[in-house]
């Protein structure tokens, strides 16, 4: 272990908040956004299939709650490199003792934190500032046919978004609220 990441557990098994250590000098700093050896110790398995960037223009915008269905389920490492967000992961692992519970954490360009999200979670966030930038490492490639999601405003999830929710994509807004017999995904 390089000691470049500090992991803090959450109430949802396997979901971790990672803090990146900044190697500072008189020029500024360097920190690792991803390191295969380090993250393997925190549960990352296999390669980085994709590294994505998103930009979100206006605060209040919510993207989510996204996941890919098995066998295309993915581990995600989510990082905010500009602005501030509230990042949220929902446990949708069938038979999980914390099924449908969620964990929220503020990620920002300043706090050097990332959320390491195992397979079996739906992920979303709300921009708390304008002009947010995010970096996503995905363990599996984007597979449109395997994409699914939960409605971020579904009362069954009980997510208390700090700002009025705006700019949901048509797809995200169209996710139906969960039926009482929703069982989640095989983890
Ligand atoms: C993920 C992905 C998407 N796309 C295409 C599909 C759509 O035409 C367009 C936007 O996709 P989407 O609306 O799913 O993007 P976001 O809502 O920003 O999703 C992102 O934010 C939420 C919170 C997440 O958790 C997702 O993992 C992350 O991708 O990009 C691609 O071409 N490649 C990709 O890897």
pLDDT tens per residue, range 31-77: 999 999 999 999 999 999 999 999 999 999 999 999 999 999 999 99
Contact between residue 75 and residue 118 where contact means Cβ atoms under 8 Å apart: yes
Q: In the predicted model, what is the mean pLDDT of the chain?
A: 96
Task: Residues 5-174: name the CATH superfamily.
Answer: Jelly Rolls (2.60.120.10)
- pTM for the structure as a whole: 0.96
pLDDT at 74: 97
Contact between residue 118 and residue 67 where contact means Cβ atoms under 8 Å apart: no
Q: Which atom of ligand 1 is nearest to the CA of 169?
A: 13
The total of other beta-carbon atoms located within 10 Å of residue 41's CB is: 12
Question: Could you say which DSSP state residue 17 is in?
Answer: E
pLDDT at 1 over 90: no
pLDDT at 29: 94
Mean pLDDT of all residues in 134-144: 97
Q: Are strands 50-56 and 113-117 parallel, antiparallel or unpaired?
A: unpaired
pLDDT at 2 over 80: no
Contact between residue 20 and residue 111 where contact means Cβ atoms under 8 Å apart: no
DSSP-based three-state secondary structure for 101 = coil
Q: Is the CB of 47 under 6 A from ligand 1?
A: no
pLDDT at 148 over 70: yes
Q: Which of 51, 86, 136 to mutate to test the pocket of ligand 1 (most atoms within 8 A of CB)?
A: 136
Question: Could you say which DSSP state residue 115 is in?
Answer: E
Residue 179 CA to ligand 1 centre (angstroms): 25
Which two structure tokens, joined as six digits, stand for 131?
A: 């002009």
Asked if 142 is an active-site residue, the reply is no
As a whole number of angstroms, the distance between CA 136 and CA 115 comes to 10
Domain boundaries, the chain: 5-174
Per DSSP (E only), the strands in the chain are 5-9, 16-20, 23-25, 28-30, 50-56, 62-68, 76-82, 84-91, 102-108, 113-117, 121-127, 132-138, 147-149
Asked if 140 is an active-site residue, the reply is no
């Amino acid at each position: 272990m390089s000691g470049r990441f500090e992991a803090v557990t959450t109430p949802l098994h396997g979901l971790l908040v990672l803090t990146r250590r900044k190697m500072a000098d008189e020029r500024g700093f360097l920190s690792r956004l991803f390191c295969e050896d380090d993250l393997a110790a925190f549960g990352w398995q296999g390669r980085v299939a994709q590294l994505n960037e998103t930009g979100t223009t206006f605060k209040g915008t919510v993207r989510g709650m996204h996941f890919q269905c098995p066998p295309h389920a993915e581990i995600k490492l989510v990082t905010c490199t500009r602005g501030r967000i509230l990042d949220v992961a929902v446990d949708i692992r069938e038979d999980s003792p914390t099924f449908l519970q969620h964990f929220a954490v503020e990620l920002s360009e300043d706090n050097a934190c990332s959320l390491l999200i195992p397979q079996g979670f739906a992920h979303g966030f709300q921009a708390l500032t304008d002009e947010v930038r995010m970096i996503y490492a995905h363990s599996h490639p984007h597979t449109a046919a395997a994409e699914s999601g939960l409605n971020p405003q579904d009362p069954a999830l009980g997510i208390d978004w700090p700002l009025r929710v705006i700019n949901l994509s048509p797809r995200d807004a169209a996710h139906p609220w969960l039926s009482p017999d929703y069982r989640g995904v095989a983890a």
